[in-house]
Amino acid sequence: MDGRAWQQQYRGPQFLIDRGRIRDAVARISAAAAGIEIFYPLKTNPHPEVLATVVESGCGVAISHVAEAELLRDFPASVNVGVFAPCLDPELLEHDRVRNARYMTVNSMADTDRVGESAFEGEVLIRRHDARGQGKFGCADAEAMAVCLRTKELRVGGLHVHAGTNIESAQQWRQAIAAAGAGSSLTIRNYGGGLPAQSRLDELGLALSAYLEDLAPDAILEPGRYIVDDALFCLSRILAVDDDRVFLDVGSNALPPLASSRYTVQRMIRRTGEIVESSSTGPSYALFDRGCMDITYLPRLMCAIPPETGDLVVFGRCGAYTYSLWSDFGAGRPDVTAHERLFF
Ligand SMILES: Cc1ncc(COP(=O)(O)O)c(C=O)c1O
């Protein structure tokens, strides 16, 4: 579709899924760390088209609660499931996609007891605090939990570590996962997520391989942002321009403020259909939404040609933790459509 066609079909804020970019991201990780298993964390973006594309690309799916398990109903039983929840409640353990999961993380002795009483037959991973004994979830004494699990005749697959999110230093990521395994006889299997989007790695001059070079060949990764952030775009229309202020028809209901998000302004599609690249120099415009909701965390619109009412602004890096956090406040939820390849 050219710029004119995007203008003609525009009816209101839209999210566009680029299925090709999802497939490319999975292929890049698989090439950088051959043999690893990838589990896509469903919470990062549970849109059915995203999920279908991720599964077609050969990834398993990481889930944490019953609502996520339900989203897998329409997918074949052969899809690998990892249950990497912060706690295991009985309803979750009874769900058929959970009973038949390949991996399950336990965080506490209570989880260990519950999984021991359940019908789960896969491998159990122990979520461990980091080397300083700190962590949002998990336990300090993984060895004690391993003994307890083995007493219950469960298979202990190793440790589960989530180093953090959007870690913009390969060294910091590698240090975090190494520290979490230090001093334990259990070899780590699941290294969690935390990789930035590829476009962000490119901006920082970092190679994906620098993150993944030390991984054991049978490792598990849960890259959410890396797989999906670059694969969604948001299309929004300019409602008014006032000096250096541009008012948009999209707000924080669709582009929520996330501490670790780095939305980009990719381009403008002018009313005429002409496509204008954003530039790094020249005049810049602050973005506002029509409802006085704060979107000042969005980057400024920078382009040599002054924006006008009716032009479309294309935002990039919109895939991770947006759709799952949308609200109806101030505006309806945007439409979402999936495409094989977008030129944005
Ligand atoms: C256990 C776990 N795995 C994976 C992820 C995904 O992280 P990211 O999107 O940074 O790759 C998260 C995010 O919070 C998480 O808590």
Question: pTM here?
Answer: 0.95
Taking residue 312's Cβ as centre, other Cβ atoms within 10 Å add up to 24
Per-residue pLDDT, 322: 95
Name the phi and psi angles at 117, rounded to 5. -85, -10
Name the phi and psi angles at 289, rounded to 5. -105, 170
Ligand 1 atom with the smallest distance to the CA of 105 is: 1
Cβ-in-10-Å burial (0-12, 13-18, 19+) of 340 comes to exposed
For all residues of the chain together, what is the average pLDDT?
A: 93
pLDDT > 70 fraction of the chain, expressed in percent and rounded? 99
Per-residue pLDDT, 114: 96
CATH (residue range 19-228): 3.20.20.10
Ligand 1 atom with the smallest distance to the CA of 260 is: 10
Q: Which of 59-63, 121-125, 163-167, 258-262 has the lowest mean pLDDT?
A: 258-262
> How many whole angstroms separate alpha carbon 13 and alpha carbon 29?
31
pLDDT > 90 fraction of the chain, expressed in percent and rounded? 78
Residues, the chain: 344
To test the ligand 1 pocket, which listed residue (26, 44, 177, 258) has its Cβ within 8 A of the most ligand atoms? 44
Please say if the pLDDT value at position 343 is more than 90. Answer: no
> How many whole angstroms separate alpha carbon 184 and alpha carbon 182?
6
Mean predicted confidence (pLDDT) in 146-154 = 96
| Cβ-proximal residues to 110 (8 Å cutoff; 6+ apart), any chain | 87, 88
Mean predicted confidence (pLDDT) in 208-237 = 94
Fold of 3-15+230-339: Lyase, Ornithine Decarboxylase; Chain A, domain 1 (2.40.37)
Per-residue pLDDT, 73: 92
CA of 224 to the centre of ligand 1 (A): 6
Longest dimension (CA), the chain: 70
> How many whole angstroms separate alpha carbon 27 and alpha carbon 37?
12
Per-residue pLDDT, 177: 87
Mean predicted confidence (pLDDT) in 36-59 = 97
Per-residue pLDDT, 181: 85
Domain ranges of the chain: 3-15+230-339, 19-228
Residue pLDDT, tens place only, 279-330: 888 899 999 998 877 788 899 999 889 999 999 999 999 999 999 999 888 7
Per-residue pLDDT, 130: 64
Structure tokens at 195: 């990789």
Per-residue pLDDT, 318: 96
Instruction: Describe the crossing of helices 48-56 and 19-32 by its angle, rounded to 10 degrees.
Output: 40
Where do the H-state alpha helices sit in 213-344?
225-228
Ligand 1 pocket: which residues have CB below 6 Å? 41, 44, 84, 162, 165-166, 192-195, 222-226, 320
Per-residue pLDDT, 12: 94
Residue pLDDT, tens place only, 76-117: 999 999 999 999 999 999 999 999 999 999 999 999 999 999
> How many whole angstroms separate alpha carbon 220 and alpha carbon 293?
40
Structure tokens at 121: 């037959």
CA of 228 to the centre of ligand 1 (A): 12
Taking residue 335's Cβ as centre, other Cβ atoms within 10 Å add up to 12
Ligand 1 atom with the smallest distance to the CA of 225 is: 9
CA distances from 280 to 39, 195, 284, 311, 317 (A): 36, 25, 9, 19, 17
Residue pLDDT, tens place only, 224-276: 999 999 999 999 999 999 999 999 999 989 999 987 778 999 999 999 999 99
